[in-house]
Amino acid sequence: MDILQRLARFLDRPLFPWKRLIIGFSVAQYLFEGFLGMRQYQVLQKKKPPKVLELEVSQEVYDKSQAYGRAKAKFEVFSGLYGQIQNILFIQFDVLPKLWSWSGSLLLRFAPTRFTGEISQSIVFILSFIVIQQILSLPTSIYHTFVLEEKFGFNKQTPQLFVTDMIKSNLLAFVLAPPILAGFLSIVKKTGSQFFYYLWLFGAGLQVFMITIYPIAILPLFNKLSPLEEGKLKTDVENLAKNLKFPLHELYVIDGSKRSAHSNAYFFGMPWKKHIVIYDTLIEKSETEEVVAVLAHELGHWSLGHTTRLFAISQVHFFYIFSLFSVFINNNSLYTDFGFTSEHPIIVGFLLFSDILGPMDTVIKLLMNILSRRFEFQADAFAKNLGHEAKLASSLIKLQIQNLSTMDADWMFASYHFSHPILTERLKALNWVPTAKVEVKETAKDGEATTTGRDEL
């Protein structure tokens, strides 16, 4: 495309301060999100729940929900600052060119000659980068899991399970990253200036492949899927799927409770063969009719074509990213400013391009959240039209209480961060009439919060 070539020439300016630009983008985004966080923190200091929830939510639950929200907000500020410091130090001390040089030296020393090209070096570089990021993220990960979540009763992980999951995740990255990176780089190298077409097709194929193998080969490494036992719940869900002509193949229960008290329900699979997965915590904490109502909402996304549309949008987004990457892939000034004077590794160019893309991705995230909230309202309306409005509403309230989810939100914060409408908006759309406090099943210790809903359903 001629316009992309002209843009590439325009942006490749000697001595252009790319480092300062990328740091400026990153800091500006952090400050903007901090501003939104301050607005939300004021909401989290309110003493009374929204009027629509006054009858359903006790003062004790509301106070605990507000405290949980404030604790998460403080954590986000400090973890974000920690990430900013890392990013700035990585850039200022030229960590990327040093890591690239080390990767090449490692291959020259230990690998056969045929494994010393750019593709092999890129694989070692990325895997090393993943390990470094994993180590640097450990303090915030440990604090979030074993301090913040533990304090409010959500964490079910043991230190042993935490370490095991981390090892499995890294091993998975070491297995999957090399062939994916090799394919990515080979396409760029062999298809010339029009590589983004082929890269887009590769990405689409990879998505379909991962959707196919994830439940078969990856999910079982971390969780156990068991067929849902015979009974009223299974019968009702199968009838729901049959009425909607949903191609249900199997109903599973997942042991989410071994890591967290949060819960969810979702479906996966190819268009002609779908599987529904229900978290054990959702079954334990909800009535049968409420679980069916939640699944009516989820299948509403399928019936209304939301999943297909979101997949199509993701393909457009991928094409936009790869075509724009073609503008920066040979940008000498970008590589030079980051310390790559003699080599221009493709994978490094992609990482730097991703940082430049940050502001545009923020806008896309905002637009996607707007679309996602619209889809959530439509899925709620779908469940309502099937006669599940009362049970869906009560389920949402229960899950909100059990999860200690934010009962209210600043409109700017919600617009930027939330992919789902807040509970009060959903109840209003469902024509919910406040009656009395919702009874929540208790299977955990007294005072312990369990399961989640608003952010998942």
Q: pLDDT for 213-254, tens place per residue?
A: 887 888 888 888 899 999 999 999 999 999 999 999 989 999
What pLDDT does residue 444 have?
39
What pLDDT does residue 437 have?
61
Residues 184-189: contacts with CB under 8 Å, at least 24 apart: 184/347, 185/118, 185/119, 185/122, 185/346, 185/347, 186/119, 188/329, 188/346, 189/118, 189/346
Q: What is the DSSP string of 71-111?
A: HHHHHHHHHHHHHHHHHHHHHHTTHHHHHHHHHHHHHHHHS
What pLDDT does residue 2 have?
77
C-alpha neighbours within 13 Å on the C-beta side of residue 68: 23
Tell me if 45 sits within 8 A of 73, measured CB to CB.
no
What pLDDT does residue 361 have?
87
Percentage of the residues of the chain whose pLDDT score is greater than 90: 68
Report how far residue 67's alpha carbon sits from residue 404's, in angstroms, rounded to the nearest whole number: 9
List the structure tokens of 80: 């974000």
What pLDDT does residue 436 have?
59
pTM score: 0.86
Give residues with Cβ within 8 angstroms of 125, minimum separation 6: 99, 100, 103, 345, 347, 348
Report how far residue 313's alpha carbon sits from residue 305's, in angstroms, rounded to the nearest whole number: 12
In whole numbers, what is the pLDDT of the chain averaged over residues?
89
C-alpha neighbours within 13 Å on the C-beta side of residue 96: 26
194 has a pLDDT exceeding 60 = yes
What's the average model confidence in pLDDT over 411-431?
A: 92
What pLDDT does residue 448 have?
37
Tell me if 367 sits within 8 A of 280, measured CB to CB.
no
Of the candidates 56, 337, 376, 380, the residue annotated as catalytic is 380
Report how far residue 139's alpha carbon sits from residue 146's, in angstroms, rounded to the nearest whole number: 11
Helices and strands, counts by H and E, the chain: 19, 4
Kind of pairing between the strands at 273-279 and 248-254? parallel
451 has a pLDDT exceeding 50 = no
For residue 251, the cross-strand partners are 276
Helices (H), 286-386: 288-303, 306-328, 332-337, 346-356, 358-385
Give residues with Cβ within 8 angstroms of 199, minimum separation 6: 184, 187, 188, 191, 322
Tell me if 449 sits within 8 A of 403, measured CB to CB.
yes
365 has a pLDDT exceeding 80 = yes
Q: Which among 388, 373, 356, 195 is positioned nearest to 287, based on CA atoms?
A: 388
Give the model's confidence band at 454: pLDDT under 50 very low, under 70 low, under 90 confident, else very high.
Answer: very low
Report how far residue 449's alpha carbon sits from residue 447's, in angstroms, rounded to the nearest whole number: 6
Report how far residue 232's alpha carbon sits from residue 247's, in angstroms, rounded to the nearest whole number: 20
455 has a pLDDT exceeding 80 = no
- Whether 298 is catalytic: yes
Report how far residue 292's alpha carbon sits from residue 282's, in angstroms, rounded to the nearest whole number: 11
Tell me if 117 sits within 8 A of 189, measured CB to CB.
no
C-alpha neighbours within 13 Å on the C-beta side of residue 272: 0
Tell me if 185 sits within 8 A of 351, measured CB to CB.
no
Of the candidates 298, 337, 410, 456, the residue annotated as catalytic is 298
Percentage of the residues of the chain whose pLDDT score is greater than 70: 94
Is residue 160 packed enough to be buried (19+ CB in 10 Å), middle (13-18) or exposed (0-12)?
A: exposed
What's the average model confidence in pLDDT over 321-333?
A: 93
91 has a pLDDT exceeding 50 = yes
Give the model's confidence band at 440: pLDDT under 50 very low, under 70 low, under 90 confident, else very high.
Answer: low
What pLDDT does residue 453 have?
33
- Whether 380 is catalytic: yes
Tell me if 199 sits within 8 A of 321, measured CB to CB.
no
Least confident residue range of 66-75, 313-322, 348-357, 427-436 = 427-436
Q: What is the chain's alpha carbon radius of gyration, rounded to the nearest angstrom?
A: 24
Kind of pairing between the strands at 265-270 and 225-227? unpaired
Q: What is the DSSP string of 219-247?
A: HHHH--EEEPPSSHHHHHHHHHHHHHT--
Tell me if 73 sits within 8 A of 37, measured CB to CB.
yes
CA distances from 432 to 141, 244, 414, 435 (A): 38, 25, 22, 9
Report how far residue 195's alpha carbon sits from residue 189's, in angstroms, rounded to the nearest whole number: 8
Least confident residue range of 80-94, 203-217, 431-445 = 431-445
What's the average model confidence in pLDDT over 412-441?
A: 83
449 has a pLDDT exceeding 70 = no
